[in-house]
Amino acid sequence: MAANLALYPRLGYRETGRVTGDGFRRVNFEKTLAPRIALKAPVDGLYGRRRVHGHTIDPTYDRYALDLEAPAAPLVRHFEVPVGAVRLEVGFGGGEHLVHHARSAPDVGLIGVEPFESGMMRAVRDVAAEGLANVRLYLGDARRVLEWLPDGALDRVDILYPDPWHKKKHWKRRFVSVDGLDRLARVLAPGGVVRFASDIPSYVAWTRAHAAAHPAFAMGEDSATPWEGWPGTRYEAKAFREGRTPRYLTLVRA
């Protein structure tokens, strides 16, 4: 590692931390890349600073990008390796949870969606570094991906710490809503699940109420304990640091 640790700063990388896990000691670096290519797809329906119209991203993104111009079905054909099931993660932040699951289940296709450019760049870097061929990424609004996906194509959708939009006048922006659950119901296979995690009690209560009222969903687990094999997320770690307690809900597609 000594040669690598000396090399990366010379290439303009900045060390961001050291972590130990899964039997490895890792040193994380980051580097802000110069704009290279224009985004192909406009990003609609987003708010505030995360709007990325006209921004650019590293060309490695192209290798892993989900192609919404291509026919969606059969969805498994969008992956570089044969996959038996496909899952979607909405708003993956820095991609740590997505990368963990892509690594642990190489025969499951994972679609990760994130409109925030620096989070996407971090995920692209990690996916490329590990050569994870079962991942497809989309820089933009997950609602566009949901519109594109074939009926019943997913066995799971992860919505982990979605933006809560605290003000009442902004509640229509919440990802979980009547429309949101309609879209999720269409793309989930029967028995498929939505995993929802949040540290905001009012959003948890909102999601329970919406799931209970929606004919296509039944409430599964509603727990203070995360799902088995849960690696945590970057936002969750922040919630714990700030003294908030998460809740983990499983909504089952009837």
Task: Kindly list the catalytic residues.
Answer: 163
Of the residues 58, 126, 141, 155, which one makes contact with ligand SAM according to CB under 6 A: 141
* Residue 132 DSSP label: -
CB of 107 to ligand SAM, least distance (A): 24
Q: Residues binding ligand SAM: what is the number (CB under 6 A)?
A: 21
CA dihedral for 146, 152, 156, 162, sign (positive or negative): positive
AA identity, residue 223: S
Residue recorded with tokens 């949901």: 146
Among 65, 83, 86, 91, binds ligand SAM (CB under 6 A): 91
Nearest residue to the partner ligand SAM, using Cβ: 91
CA nearest neighbour of 132 among 162, 96, 161, 156: 96
Task: Please say which residue, 8 or 39, places its beta carbon nearer to ligand SAM.
Answer: 39
235 binds ligand SAM (CB under 6 A): yes
| Long-range contacts of the stretch 76-80 (C-beta < 8 A, 24+) | 76/109, 78/109, 78/136, 79/109, 79/133, 79/134, 79/135, 79/136, 80/133, 80/134
CB of 144 or CB of 218, closer to ligand SAM: 144
Segment near ligand SAM (CB under 6 A); pick from 7-15, 16-24, 89-97, 188-196: 89-97
209 phi-psi bin (left φ>0, alpha ψ -120 to 50, beta other): alpha
Q: Is residue 233 annotated as involved in ligand binding?
A: yes
Interface residue with ligand SAM among 160, 176, 200, 211 (CB under 6 A) is 160
Is 114 annotated in a binding site? The answer is: yes
Reported as type and span, the H/E element at residue 97 is helix 96-104
> Which of 60/177 has CB closer to ligand SAM?
177
148 lies in the site for ligand SAM, by CB under 6 A: no
Q: Does 90 engage in binding with ligand SAM (CB under 6 A)? A: yes
116 forms part of the interface with ligand SAM (CB under 6 A): yes
Whether a cis peptide bond, with omega within 30° of 0, leads into 74 is yes
Q: Which is nearer to ligand SAM, 115 or 192 (CB)?
A: 115
DSSP 26-55: EEEEE-PPPP-EE-SS---S--GGG--TT-
Find out whether 62 is annotated in a ligand binding site: no
* Binding stretches for ligand SAM (CB under 6 A): 50, 90-93, 113-116, 119, 141-143, 160-163, 233-236
